[in-house]
Amino acid sequence: MPFTIAIDGPAASGKGTIARALAHHFGFAHLDTGLLYRAVGAKGGDPVAAARSLTPDDLARDDLRSARAGQAASRVAAIPEVRAALVEFQRRFARSEPGAVLDGRDIGTVICPDAELKLYVTANDEIRARRRAKELGADEAQMLRELRERDARDVARAVAPMRPAPDAVLLDTSEMSIDDAVTRAITCAKEAGA
């Protein structure tokens, strides 16, 4: 039976780094579900049509990690029809053998509520802004404003708001090194039976 790890949390909290490390450590498949929404936003046009017609080439675009694509992703992710078009894809992926790690905003609460392990990865706003500014070569104050705007949108949306699942393990990476965060996540996964 496949083992599913659901990782949620805000942008620049470290969830993607942790997800990739867990997938590598356990030999599981990995899906950054935010890429799906970034690709829909980047395609432009009607978001619902874009979600229904996503291809692997759309997920390989070079511009999907930009701040602009992140903002577009947050806007289209608030559209219920877009979310519905992408839910089944994510649920099928989550049952990959021998296991899968999915990271996003609603994996433990909506996409995989029965995941064997749910992590909610977070960090304080200033640290997340510093991380994202360094990653993108952007202004830290501007990143802080954009992250807070995006968080507010993601938490307040009517469909699948960003929040920890009731049974999620909270992992605050504010004062943790990458290695410490990954080690803690691997320990959690082993304790859950991975």
Q: Give the domains, in start order, of the chain with CATH numbers.
A: 3-191 (3.40.50.300)
Contact 168, 120 (CB under 8 A): yes
- How confident is the model over 127-151, as pLDDT tens digits? 999 999 998 899 999 999 999 998 9
Question: What integer pLDDT is reported at residue 21 of this predicted model?
Answer: 98
Q: What is the mean pLDDT of residues 2-11?
A: 96
Q: What is the mean pLDDT of the chain?
A: 93
Q: In what order do the strands lie in the sheet with 29-32?
A: 29-32, 99-104, 3-8, 117-122, 169-172
Annotated binding site for ATP: 9-17
**Which residue positions form the known binding site?**
9-17
**What whole-number distance in Å separates Cα of residue 111 and Cα of residue 60?**
22
| Single pTM value for the model | 0.86
